[in-house]
Amino acid sequence: MEREKNIAIIFAGGVGQRFGSEIPKQFTKVYGKEIIAHTIEKFNSHPEIDEIYVGCVADWIGYTNDLIVRYGLNK
């Protein structure tokens, strides 16, 4: 019997207003990499996660897609 798919949904829809930054906090770099990239990597490397969906502000979809390609995140 085939197991059901496990899908991770990451909500990254903040705009950083309370954070006081020009960019949303999920795109701030920590240890040289954007926070959202660190987050996606954790799910991407988990053997029981089959797919990852990221919800973000429309203006940042292109940038998020660029990060996914840059870091080789394939789920």
Instruction: Note the pLDDT tens digit of each residue in 8-59.
Output: 999 998 776 777 778 889 999 999 999 999 999 999 999 999 999 999 989 9
- Given a contact cutoff of 8 angstroms between Cβ atoms, the answer to whether 57 and 24 are in contact is yes
Report the pLDDT value the prediction gives residue 47, as an integer from 0 to 100: 95
Q: What is the DSSP letter of 28?
A: S
Report the pLDDT value the prediction gives residue 68, as an integer from 0 to 100: 95
Residue among 13, 15, 14, 70 nearest 44 (CA)? 70
